[in-house]
């Protein structure tokens, strides 16, 4: 089991090829209205087997509420949610024993724990637990007028023409959500989405994989969330988002500002309706580790999936000889589309924890 969070805590359990995958949530205030179909809706966004651009593994991912939510309301006690794994198949991994996949966690996991099947805990299946917990966190934040939206902005070098810093209109948020949910790559730009999908399918047919970038925006976060040093909001976002499998890099705000002069990218202040705003938001809504009231903007890069069907060189750790492998299991040719709801979930978990920690959300208990 692994735990994330200081007050709003998430503990995930289960294995990719075990009987179940679940999560225990501590610190959620009592009386939050949340229903099973709201959690299920979030799970549907990352469920495998829905299109040609995802893993063919067929899982219904039907969530069960085991405790902590009664008649659609949280009790203030520990919440436990789980899904059953019904399409388990280890046959594609049998020929990989003691032969670590390049760029995967097999080698380090084996050397550290002496256990071979690293993918049972470090693989993408674990993220279903995060999405379940994230659904609760998102509903809690929504109560305080905080909304979170993530989408693919780049896959295989094909970049969306829309992103927060390019041709983005916050007024169209609900329209954007519908667009993202209507295409298999979860892109905000429908024309580019088709190109991305075609690129993934072509790569899959060639036995290879591709990576990309997910952008997430958090709207409505008040000024002052986060601490100035070791509990910085930015640091917790790096920590939480960086724990997602296959993450290769994280950047808050406009990345190009590292190449510009301060006079070009400093966010100048002004007053609107009695509130302090910034004319630009190149800092991504965080100054000195503390939210400044502007939208929080983060880009998360994902590497190509390590499991590809092309022949690769590796070693046999049992015999200590060089060898080759050909991977036959069920894998995503691009993890980016299914990572989108996971990014939303982890962003929500960080913000819920920070809001409780800073007193922006009262810690109500029975």
Among candidates 79, 53, 87, which has minimal Cα distance to 135? 79
Residue spans per domain, the chain: 2-357
Does pLDDT of 360 surpass 50? yes
Q: For the residues 261-290, what does the mean pLDDT come to?
A: 95
In degrees, to the nearest 5, what angle opens at C-alpha 338 toward C-alphas 356 and 5?
A: 20
Consecutive H or E run containing 325? strand 321-325
Q: Supply the pLDDT for residue 328.
A: 78
146-166 pLDDT, tens per residue? Answer: 999 999 999 999 999 999 999
Of the candidates 331, 315, 335, the one whose C-alpha atom is nearest the C-alpha of residue 323 is 315
Q: What is the mean pLDDT of residues 168-194?
A: 93
Q: Which residues contact 325 (CB under 8 A, 6 or more apart)?
A: 95, 96, 99, 101, 311, 312, 314
Give the Cα separation of 12 and 134 in Å (integer). Answer: 12
CATH number among 3.40.1410.10, 3.40.190.10, 3.60.150.10, 3.40.50.970, domain 2-357:
3.60.150.10
CA–CA separation, 137 and 241 (whole Å): 15
Residue 252 pairs with which residues in a beta bridge? Answer: 298
């Amino acid at each position: 089991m692994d735990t994330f969070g200081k007050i709003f805590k998430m503990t995930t359990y289960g294995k990719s090829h075990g009987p179940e995958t679940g999560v225990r949530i501590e610190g959620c205030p009592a009386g939050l209205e949340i229903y099973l179909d709201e959690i299920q809706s979030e799970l549907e966004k990352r469920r495998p087997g829905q299109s040609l651009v995802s893993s063919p593994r067929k899982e219904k991912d039907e969530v069960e509420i085991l405790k902590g939510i009664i008649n659609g309301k949280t009790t203030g006690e520990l919440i436990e949610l789980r899904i059953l794994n019904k399409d388990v198949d280890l046959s594609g991994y049998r020929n990989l024993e003691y032969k670590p996949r390049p760029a995967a966690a097999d080698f380090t996991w084996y050397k550290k724990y002496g256990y071979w099947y690293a993918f049972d805990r470090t693989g993408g299946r674990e993220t279903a637990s995060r999405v379940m917990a994230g659904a609760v966190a998102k509903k809690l934040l929504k109560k305080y007028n905080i909304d979170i939206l993530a989408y693919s902005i780049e896959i295989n070098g094909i970049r969306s023409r829309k992103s927060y810093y390019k041709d983005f209109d916050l007024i169209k948020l609900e329209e954007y959500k519908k667009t993202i949910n209507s295409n298999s790559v979860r892109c905000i730009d429908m024309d580019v989405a088709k190109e991305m999908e075609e690129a993934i399918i072509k790569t899959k047919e060639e036995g290879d994989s591709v990576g990309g970038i997910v952008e997430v925006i958090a709207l409505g976060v008040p000024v002052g969330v986060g601490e100035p040093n070791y509990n910085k909001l930015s640091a917790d976002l790096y920590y939480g988002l960086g724990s997602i499998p296959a993450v290769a890099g994280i950047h808050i705000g406009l990345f190009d500002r590292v190449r510009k002069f301060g006079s070009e990218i400093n966010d100048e202040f002004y007053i609107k309706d009695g509130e302090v705003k910034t004319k630009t938001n190149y800092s991504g809504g965080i100054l000195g580790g503390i939210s400044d009231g502007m939208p929080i903007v983060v880009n998360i890069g994902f590497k190509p999936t390590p499991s590809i069907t092309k022949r690769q060189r590796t070693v046999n750790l049992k015999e200590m000889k060089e060898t080759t492998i050909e991977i036959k299991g069920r894998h995503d040719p691009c993890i980016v589309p299914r990572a989108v709801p996971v990014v939303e979930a982890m962003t929500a978990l960080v913000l819920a924890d920070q809001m409780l920690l800073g007193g922006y959300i009262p810690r109500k208990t029975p």
